[in-house]
Amino acid sequence: MSELQLVCSDFDAALDLLRGAGLSLDLIYPADDPHSAVLTHNGARIRLTSRPDVGEPSAELPPFKPEFVLTRGGASGTGRAGMRYRDLIPTRLGGRYIASHITMPEGGPVADWVHFHRITFQALMVARGWVRVVYEDQGDPFVLNAGDLVLQPPGIRHQVLESSPGLEVIEIAAPALHATFADHEMALPNGTLAADRDFSGQHFLRHVAAQASWTPFHGGEVQETAMRAATRGIADFRTLRKEGPSIDVPPHAGELVFGFVLRGNAELGFDEGHKLVREDSFVIPPGKTWSLRNMSDDFRLLHVTTERLG
């Protein structure tokens, strides 16, 4: 199938025009700030882009470039399916990782479609509100509430259906630049329940925070998840909270060390120290110690680590 490239100045308007003319959206990227898409109709294939200077997503992971990153709460932009995205790792650590603070201020039905991603790792946690989602081979749609999370293994078909007003989600994926592929053949739910299905060496995971216990963690308390088992050792997702005066975290020998303040405030003990409030996030280079001090009683932190991805 031959491909025609159309370069536009207003990507959203051009995409709406082509879809309104009957073209089918096959893929779009990046999710947080879409600028390129592929559409088809009657054997014709059109690549629409407002950024012809940007290369296409690759299956290869870019080299990991560790650094300290501190991101304060701020404005977000319109991303895929009308969702609002705020970039939590602007440097992308060399293109290796993307972390997004996704919001749906109005709530209600989401203009999403059945889709999948070609990624090495992708997971998300609900920070506030609730969202109703459905996944391939995982039964009927279900609701994720604050503190709940899912691992979206490579290639799994899924769809966001609706959300509460003020929904907030934290999503982390590798590599940073990856495409969203539409699946026009599959309808979800697909009538199959295969909780242990293997997706490129990973398993779907749904963590329900209300059913998880708190255990000691380096001076604080942690709510662990089964992320490590589901990813076969790639990643850990956990929630930290105050127990004593500080949480002193030992060095991590892998790659990503990421934190997002879900609630409350604290001081990050790294370099000269940094005040943290809700919606702040940080990345600590591997091999470095860090701590949390002067935590408010309601403090909650999403803490994510990954091993070496290759």
- The whole-angstrom separation of Cα 34 and Cα 12 is 8
Q: Does 56 map to a domain?
A: no
- The whole-angstrom separation of Cα 131 and Cα 39 is 28
Q: Are residues 40 and 160 in the same domain?
A: no
- Share above pLDDT 90 across residues of the chain, in percent, rounded to a whole number: 92
Contact between 157 and 135 under an 8 Å Cβ cutoff? The reply is yes
Residue 20 CA from chain centroid, whole number: 29
Q: What is the pLDDT of residues 233-244, one digit of tens each?
A: 999 999 999 999
Contact between 305 and 254 under an 8 Å Cβ cutoff? The reply is yes
Q: Are residues 129 and 265 in the same domain?
A: yes
The confidence score (pLDDT) of residue 74 equals 80
Q: Are residues 222 and 96 in the same domain?
A: yes
Q: How far apart are the first and last CA of the chain?
A: 34
Q: What is the pLDDT of residues 217-261, one digit of tens each?
A: 999 999 999 999 999 999 999 999 999 999 999 999 999 999 999
**Residues constituting the chain:** 310
The confidence score (pLDDT) of residue 119 equals 95
Q: Which residue has the higher pLDDT, 75 or 148?
A: 148
The confidence score (pLDDT) of residue 1 equals 58
The confidence score (pLDDT) of residue 117 equals 96
Give me 308's structure tokens: 């070496």
Q: What is the pLDDT of residues 184-211, one digit of tens each?
A: 999 999 999 998 999 999 999 999 999 9
Give me 251's structure tokens: 């060095």
Q: Does 113 map to a domain?
A: yes
Q: Are residues 159 and 22 in the same domain?
A: no
CATH no. for residue 31?
3.10.180.10
Contact between 309 and 275 under an 8 Å Cβ cutoff? The reply is no
Q: Are residues 74 and 195 in the same domain?
A: yes
Q: Are residues 165 and 268 in the same domain?
A: yes
**Phi/psi of residue 70, each to 5°?**
-125, 120
Q: Does 55 map to a domain?
A: no
The confidence score (pLDDT) of residue 43 equals 86
Contact between 68 and 271 under an 8 Å Cβ cutoff? The reply is yes
Q: Are residues 261 and 217 in the same domain?
A: yes
DSSP H helices, the chain, are 11-20, 227-230
Give me 158's structure tokens: 């899924």
Q: Does 10 map to a domain?
A: yes
The confidence score (pLDDT) of residue 204 equals 98
Q: Are residues 264 and 156 in the same domain?
A: yes
CATH no. for residue 301?
2.60.120.10
pLDDT band at 50 (very low <50, low <70, confident <90, very high): very high
Would you say residue 168 has pLDDT above 90? yes
**Phi/psi of residue 146, each to 5°?**
-55, 130
Burial of residue 162, with CB atoms counted within 10 A of its CB: 0-12 exposed, 13-18 middle, 19 or more buried? middle
Give me 217's structure tokens: 């963690």
Average pLDDT, the chain: 95
14: number of Cβ within 10 Å: 17
Q: Are residues 44 and 145 in the same domain?
A: no
* Number of structural domains in the chain: 2
Q: Strand, helix or coil at 222?
A: strand
Residue 105 CA from chain centroid, whole number: 18
Q: Are residues 236 and 306 in the same domain?
A: yes
Q: Are residues 138 and 31 in the same domain?
A: no
Residue written as tokens 């999948």? 116
- The whole-angstrom separation of Cα 199 and Cα 152 is 9
- What CA–CA distances, in Å, run from 133 to 109, 228, 275, 302? 11, 22, 35, 21
In the predicted model, what is the mean pLDDT of residues 274-280? 98
The confidence score (pLDDT) of residue 164 equals 98
- The residues pairing with 140 across neighbouring beta strands, listed in sequence order, are none
The confidence score (pLDDT) of residue 3 equals 83
Q: Does 54 map to a domain?
A: no
What is the extent of the structural domain holding 15? 3-49
46: number of Cβ within 10 Å: 16
- The whole-angstrom separation of Cα 157 and Cα 194 is 13
In the predicted model, what is the mean pLDDT of residues 104-129? 96
Residue written as tokens 């990503």? 256
Containing 261, the helix (H) or strand (E) segment is: strand 257-263
Q: Are residues 205 and 88 in the same domain?
A: yes
Q: What is the pTM of this model?
A: 0.95
